[in-house]
Amino acid sequence: MSRKPVPAQAGDRSRIEITFDRPQLLAQLFGQYDQNLVALENRLGVYITARGNRIGLEGTAEQVALARDVMADLYQRLQRGEEIDTGLVDAAIAMQAEPTLDGIIRAGAEPPTVMIRTRRKTIVPRTPAQAHYMRELTTHDMIFALGPAGTGKTYIAVAQAVSQLIAGSVQRLILSRPAVEAGERLGFLPGDMKEKVDPYLRPLYDALNDCMPPEQVERRIASGEIEIAPIAFMRGRTLADAFVILDEAQNTTPAQMKMFLTRFGQNSRMVICGDPNQTDLPGGVASSGLADATYRLEGIDGISMCRFTAADVVRHPIVGRIVEAYEGSA
């Protein structure tokens, strides 16, 4: 494999070679049609060559050092059975740029101390903000996760909830969302109550099925260990011995948010996820319950505010650029 070198100023180039001891992993490391190597070259401005189990890196000393650390990071992930894609390549680059952050995989280091194990996969942070969020999920009783779509707010919270449910540290997992359409009027929906509200709650089912075998999800829902319901169903309850997640919290009213937060019971953890800049509340509603709650509760002991930005988007890289474009024009 060889591609045209990336131009650099004369005298400003460095070259190193890395040898990998498990050549069978290199096809996954490189990606289909070398897409992961191309992503590294484009992001870091390095020139990469591959011969057998040896990888050559050429560029400035700083670029080469960063590319070496990222490739070692990705290779260690493959050794642990993780899957590699271009999104993870971008995340690894961002994380390697934070040398003081504990728990991030580094060349020659032990596996990260920040991770979530579920029945189907082990989740590790892809950005520094995700690493901070994972820590807060284990140390605080109430966590607000604020930021744009695609940053892993809900997915990581569901994974942590599943992990604690499996471990027995909580008795129930309660997932809730406001039943608000995203700018559309869907009209009357046929069926019983479950069939009416399920379309609004589908993203929560998707996250659960990614962390547990679907048959276990269904069995635990039937037994009441897992409950997925609109926020309106929370009124009058005390949510004890439970891991409680409120998704799309920006679509609550201040009254709904107050009602939900005051359901908090003994031996519970509550996570409130939302994007303050993407409210779908109908016209005439004065303010979002999420914005109101973060204003009132910032700095209160036991409550953590975790904020994400477009740099933390872990979907397709273009999603991060879209978020940046919209935030810049707001």
CATH of the domain at 209: 3.40.50.300
**Whether residue 120 sits in one domain with residue 260:** yes
Residue 210 has pLDDT above 50, yes or no: yes
Q: Give 252's DSSP letter.
A: S
Residues 6+ away with beta carbon under 8 Å from 320: 150, 310, 311, 313
**Whether residue 251 sits in one domain with residue 221:** yes
The answer as to whether 1 is a domain residue is no
Which residues form the domain of 25?
A: 14-96
| Number of domains into which the chain is organized | 2
Kindly state the average pLDDT of the residues 29-35: 85
Confidence of residue 108 (pLDDT cuts 50, 70, 90): very low
**Whether residue 138 sits in one domain with residue 85:** no
Residue 32 has pLDDT above 60, yes or no: yes
Kindly state the average pLDDT of the residues 2-8: 47
The answer as to whether 137 is a domain residue is yes
Q: What are the pLDDT digits (tens) for 302-318? A: 999 999 988 888 766 67
Residue in the structure block whose two tokens are 């559309």: 184
d(CA 71, CA 25): 12
**Whether residue 295 sits in one domain with residue 257:** yes
Q: What's the pLDDT at 158? A: 92
**Whether residue 291 sits in one domain with residue 233:** yes
**Whether residue 171 sits in one domain with residue 235:** yes
Residue 166 has pLDDT above 90, yes or no: no
**Whether residue 212 sits in one domain with residue 171:** yes
Q: What's the pLDDT at 102? A: 37
**Whether residue 132 sits in one domain with residue 92:** no
Give the domain CATH number at 88: 3.30.1370.10
User: What is the SS3 assignment for 220?
Assistant: helix
Better-scored residue on pLDDT, 267 or 185: 267
The answer as to whether 102 is a domain residue is no
**Whether residue 130 sits in one domain with residue 263:** yes
Q: Give 58's DSSP letter.
A: E
The answer as to whether 189 is a domain residue is yes
d(CA 9, CA 263): 62
**Whether residue 252 sits in one domain with residue 134:** yes
Beta bridge partners of 304: 143
Q: What's the pLDDT at 70? A: 85
d(CA 104, CA 86): 18
How far does CA 5 lie from the centroid of its chain?
A: 34
**Whether residue 280 sits in one domain with residue 149:** yes
Kindly state the average pLDDT of the residues 183-200: 55
Domain end, chosen from 62, 96, 130, is at 96
**Whether residue 233 sits in one domain with residue 272:** yes
